[in-house]
Structure 1
Amino acid sequence: MGGSSQEAYKKGIILAGISAGSLCWFEEGVTDSMNNNLSKIDCLGFLTGSNCPHYDGESNRRPSYHELMASGKMKEGYAVDDGVALHFKNEKLSASVSSRPTAKAYAVNEKASKVIEHELPVTYLGDGKQ
């Protein structure tokens, strides 16, 4: 059996993941998997740019992402608070959803060594009690 993520992607199979499982689809991301220090990691590149999970869940994620981007070491991309998922269709962001009512998602870019966050609309999926 077996097969690669690239083969699955080309067949239209949904690819998903949280934390490192979400950043892996981008060109690069912010990870703490190397010596517990936040750093850039090269990823699979199915989606353009970078990704930073745990934006509100770990106090040093946001400043580390900003520093990497402002220094030119990381491409522009997306950051998400814990509980937020980004949904892409045909390599374009289609929606942002969350399991937490106040969690946010951001498009993050750099201009003249200054990092700018643009808050994205996020749909709260609710607690399932209706």
Structure 2
Amino acid sequence: MRLALIGGGFVKHTDNFHINKRIVELVEKTNPKVLFIPTASNDNEDYITEFTEIFEKQLECHVNVLRCINNNPSEAEIKKMINSADLIYLGGGNYINMMEKWKEYKINQRLVEALQNDTLIAGISAGAICWFKCGIRTNYEGEGYIESPGWNMINKIFCPHYNQMDRANEFHRLLLQNGNENEHAIALEDNCALYLTNDTYEIIGEPSKAWEFQVIENELLKQKFIERAKTSI
């Protein structure tokens, strides 16, 4: 498993550039092939343009884009695009729409297979939540935030954009409300990423922006994610 989880931020902003630069370095190839999947943003063309300009012009990658909102890619096309990528980057946006569309096109199955085959995958916000047991997202049908299930490739609860106070407070409440002893969770602020392999991790960005949580005897324990050479995730 090689998975880079990004708490949030904008591709074109300076704060996120060093994260994307490090992720490209982790591919360990010259001019790597990057597949961008912007489904959560409704395949927003401005987002695609920003991503392509950064990754092609500044990071020297070859970018391909998998569009499945207005386009109707075949199963063979999707398989070829995912299997040929050195790095797959999952964009942020509407988590529910993303998950529904990926299920429709069986992109979810292909992504899990790619991860299991050691393809490097990066996901920001919605593109990161999907890998966890569950995560907190914006309530698109009302106010506040709500918990949604993921694929449970990481048996923890996840919160992106942890620097947003209202989201952070709701995340704390949900962890305590679940009432599960020894519940574990991870939260990342914007402009911070966590790179995971099967037995190691690396914080990309400021370590003070990465947090871990545990519920013990109905109390929420919070501490900063302390970088080590090796650990079990």
Tell me if both proteins adopt one fold, taking TM over 0.5 as the criterion. Answer: yes
Percent identity over paired residues: 22
Larger displacement relative to structure 2 (113-122 or 15-24) = 113-122
1:14 matched to 2:102? The reply is no
SS, match of residue 168 in structure 2: helix
Moved segments of 4+, more than 6 Å? none
1:1-130 counterparts in 2 under 5 A? Answer: 1=76, 2-3=78-79, 4-35=110-141, 36-56=143-163, 58-72=164-178, 75-90=183-198, 92=199, 94-98=201-205, 101=206, 103-121=208-226
Question: What is the aligned-residue RMSD (CA, Å)?
Answer: 2.0
**Contact 2:179–2:218 under 8 Å retained in 1:** no
- Choose between structure 1 and 2: higher helix proportion: 2
SS, match of residue 151 in structure 2: coil
* Deviation for aligned residue 1:76: 2.0
Deviations, residues 42-78 of structure 1 (Å, cap 9, x unaligned)? 001111111101111x221111111011111684210
- Rate the CA distance shift 1:93–1:109 in 2: closer, same or farther, 3 A: farther
Higher relative contact order (CA 8 A, sep 6+): 2
Distance 2:210 2:222 in 1: 9
**Contact 1:108–1:115 under 8 Å retained in 2:** yes
Deviations, residues 7-54 of structure 1 (Å, cap 9, x unaligned)? 111211111111111111111000115325311100011111111011
TM-score (norm 1): 0.80
**Contact 2:207–2:224 under 8 Å retained in 1:** no
Q: Max radius of gyration: which structure?
A: 2
Distance 2:208 2:191 in 1: 7
TM-score (norm 2): 0.46
The code of the aligned residue for 1:120 comes to F
Which sections of structure 2, spanning at least 5 residues, go unmatched? 1-75, 80-109, 228-233
How many pairs align? 118
Distance 1:70 1:10 in 2: 32
- Rate the CA distance shift 1:18–1:5 in 2: closer, same or farther, 3 A: same
